Amino acid sequence: MSHIHPSQIRLGYFLVILAAILFAISGTTAKFLFNSGFTAFQLIQLRITLAFAGLLLWLCIRHPQSLKISRKHLPYFCCLGVFGIGAAQFFYLLAISRINVASAILLHYTGPVFVAVYVVLVRGRKLSIHTILAIIGTLLGCYFMVGAYNLELNALNWTGILAGLLAAVAFAAYSLMSDYGMRTYTAWTVLLYGLLFAAVMWNVLHPPLDAFFHSYSAVQWSCILFIGIFGTIFPFGLYFEGIKRIEPTHASITATLEPISAGVFAALFLGELMAPLQIFGGLLVIVSIVRLQLHSAASKPIPID
């Protein structure tokens, strides 16, 4: 990307930072709704359905050519939507509803570790010392971050912790599958049809559009619309625009600002404070993920088809 003007590179970093902040605000907003009585099933249906409808409308107006796909790829998009986007978003929201926002997002960010595990177990690649250290650092960081150093293990919210880890697994699946899809389609097309099948799933598992017919206050509706539009479509769009201007690895590293921002927002607006050892664990996770991403960028690309 050496031909890109420095001002465009700076703009790329700004767009990725803005995307990370919007994602972080979305997580904090979701926790606010959970504290007011929302369930993860309600919010996932609201978020995914609104995001799909909003993105479909925008693409119909601005990029109608992005709507075209081959029928033979429908099973792929179904898997992407169900096991990738749909599962990742649900477990992510479930984790936020059970544990503090920063911890939930950090657990979600361990997705690259599961990608590394996939490469070893399925593709037969050997673990490098860099990857081993990154995995150990991530596991140790998670241990401190979720408060497992506390001997009262029964006091830990294991549902929230497990949901966060499952969100990371689903995020890893989404990363691998979306990379495959973007060899044929634009990122917007992949996202749109992933959201379509995710929306179908959560309108089957939960009564169709049921969450839209509950009685919500004006503030709650504002939060719902923010999460669906400004907490989903906008940050994805900003991130996609960002990686057009900077290296994807640099973008993913810059995006680790999200859990840091989420911790700050949750502390300011929800009163969620992390203990010093939890903060240490969170920083260890971020450092480990950055190390893993840098090493991945220096390695040979991984074929996943």
| Greatest Cα pair distance in the chain | 57
Residue type for position 5 = H
pLDDT of residue 157: 87
| Positions in the chain short of pLDDT 50 | 300-305
| pLDDT tens digits along 4-49 | 788 888 898 999 899 999 999 999 999 999 999 999 999 999 999 9
pLDDT of residue 12: 87
Contact by Cβ (8 Å): 147, 275: yes
* Nearest alpha-carbon partner for 91 in 13, 19, 173: 173
Ramachandran class of 303: left when φ > 0, alpha when ψ lies in -120 to 50, beta otherwise: beta
pLDDT of residue 293: 75
pTM of the model: 0.86
pLDDT of residue 298: 60
Contact by Cβ (8 Å): 268, 37: no
pLDDT of residue 305: 32
Q: At what angle do helices 40-62 and 187-202 cross, to 10 degrees?
A: 140
Phi, psi of 26 (to 5 degrees): -60, -40
Q: How far, CA to CA in Å, does 269 sit from each of 129, 145, 156, 258, 280?
A: 41, 20, 23, 16, 22
Alpha-carbon gap, residue 28 to 286, rounded angstroms: 19
* Nearest alpha-carbon partner for 121 in 110, 133, 113, 130: 113
